[in-house]
Amino acid sequence: MQRTAQDWIVLTELSNNDAAAVGITMALQFGPQLVLAPLTGMIADRVNVRRMLMLTQAIMGALAMGLGVIVITGVAQLWHVYLFALLLGIVATFDAPVRQIFVAELVESKDLTNAVSLNSVSFHAARLIGPAVAGVLTAVVGAGPVFLINAVTFAATIVALKLIRVSELHLQPRAARERGQILAGFKYVKQVPAIVVILVMVFIIGTFGMNFAIFTSTMTTMAFHRGAGEFGLLSSVMAVGSVAGALISARQSRPKMRTIFLASLAFGFAATLSALMPTFETFAISLTLIGFSSLVFMTTANSFVQTTVKPMMRGRVMALYMAIFVGGTPIGAPFVGWIVNQFGPRWGLAVAAVAGIAAAAVCGYWLVRFKSVRIRYSRTWPQLRLGFAGDSSARELATTEIAIIETEAHKSQ
């Protein structure tokens, strides 16, 4: 909610519909992920994660309250929003890997895959549903109260953390304090090629494809000449697609590489379709496909990485994952904002389309280049089979080999 209201006032109140200003705001908020991720991941592997979460949530709530006050009182300037975005980004960099680790302490090991999937669905659905709520509230009560409402929600989170029965937590092994722990995290990731491929895909799509605040706000104001109410409607429609994607993702018994590949490809085609839509109504409908494909991609990629890593490495690996996923925004958001300013909002969506297809191409190349590929034909339709080869214990040790496309020629006699 905060990010959406923040980007809206930057675009419509504190600048003259400057998409680049929105990009700068996003860059300041997500940039700390790139710089601080190795440090925050190491800290997450060491600290009491429940207490750390209570601290980060309290600070983020205070920041939301502060921004809400200066907006309501009418003293907010563009540089104020830049500063609050940067501070929020710094705190969120410490919060993200700790939240990922905490999931593993809430459930028994046999339920970890499902818990990780549900957490990922919750996180990414919120990224799409939150803007819908914020858009409607911004139109009804204004951006300032949205920030204050967001501040109050942090209190609920802190109370929930406080009420958790600590004696029933499944505490994970913590990393010992020793030299070279940050470098060890990078070395660990390098040894698992499947994770490297996923991180590359996440960087491409997260950097150039998932700048939803820029796409929906500029298409609303520049392409269709609508206001905050219609902006909220577009976010709501995208959220409908995200809910459908969440249901599909939650049904998976375990995350699969084929789902990541197909979701990336679907995202590219969905963004292409949205860029070509001639009316506000058809554009809104097309956003359901973007919401669906993006949530399936994000959820499955997140779950795959989390369920593959060793417990003592989870904080560092997930910090790297979040740095690549969110930290690419300082690169992509200003670039997409510049594209929109120069060529129009539809070309911003074209960049997202290219990102989705390029990420799928990276995955496809890796599968064809390094994995055995066979194509199974039936009489009427070619069948492509993608799935895991390897047992669950291998996945726990992060040594699972991924067999992605299996083919076998069948000819009728």
Q: What is the pLDDT of residues 371-408, one digit of tens each?
A: 544 445 555 555 555 443 433 333 433 333 333 223 33
CATH number at residue 99: 1.20.1250.20
Question: Could you give phi then psi for residue 378, rounded to 5 degrees?
Answer: -105, -175
Could you tell me the residue range of the domain that residue 379 belongs to? Answer: 371-413
Structural domain contains residue 206: yes
Tell me which of 117 and 224 has the higher pLDDT.
224
* 409 and 319 both lie in a single domain: no
* 300 and 375 both lie in a single domain: no
| Chain centre to alpha carbon of residue 61 | 21
CA distance linking residue 68 with residue 144, whole number of Å: 5
Structural domain contains residue 151: yes
pTM score, whole prediction: 0.68
For 412, the token pair is 């009728």
* 400 and 356 both lie in a single domain: no
* pLDDT exceeds 70 at position 202: yes
Closest C-alpha among 313, 223, 232, 235 to residue 276: 223
* 387 and 413 both lie in a single domain: yes
**What pLDDT sits at residue 354?**
95
Question: Do residues 359 and 204 make contact, with C-beta atoms less than 8 angstroms apart?
Answer: yes
* 395 and 343 both lie in a single domain: no
pLDDT above 70 as % of the chain: 84
CA distance linking residue 253 with residue 410, whole number of Å: 29
> pLDDT tens digit string along 58-81?
999 999 999 999 999 989 899 999
Query: Quick one: pLDDT band at residue 411, thresholds 50, 70, 90?
Result: very low
**What pLDDT sits at residue 57?**
95
Side chain identity at 366, as an amino acid letter? W
- Other C-beta atoms closer than 10 Å to the C-beta of 379 total 7
Structural domain contains residue 39: yes
Tell me which of 334, 351, 369 is where a domain ends.
369
User: 383: helix, coil or strand?
Assistant: strand
* 104 and 200 both lie in a single domain: yes
CA distance linking residue 29 with residue 214, whole number of Å: 14
Structural domain contains residue 177: no
Structural domain contains residue 174: no
CA distance linking residue 317 with residue 328, whole number of Å: 16
* 36 and 132 both lie in a single domain: yes
Question: Do residues 291 and 242 make contact, with C-beta atoms less than 8 angstroms apart?
Answer: yes
> pLDDT tens digit string along 281-323?
899 899 989 989 988 898 888 888 877 777 777 777 877 887 7
CA distance linking residue 211 with residue 189, whole number of Å: 27
**What pLDDT sits at residue 66?**
95
Question: Could you give phi then psi for residue 373, rounded to 5 degrees?
Answer: -125, 125
Structural domain contains residue 144: yes
Structural domain contains residue 173: no
* 357 and 413 both lie in a single domain: no
* 342 and 411 both lie in a single domain: no
Helix (H) or strand (E) holding 376: strand 376-377
* 399 and 350 both lie in a single domain: no
* 227 and 80 both lie in a single domain: yes
If one counts the domains in the chain, the total is: 2
Structural domain contains residue 150: yes
* 360 and 405 both lie in a single domain: no
For 366, the token pair is 């890796």
> pLDDT tens digit string along 332-360?
888 888 898 889 889 989 999 999 999 99
**What pLDDT sits at residue 84?**
93
For 350, the token pair is 């074209």
Ranges 40-49, 242-251, 275-284: which has the least confidence: 242-251
Mean pLDDT of all residues in 357-376:
74
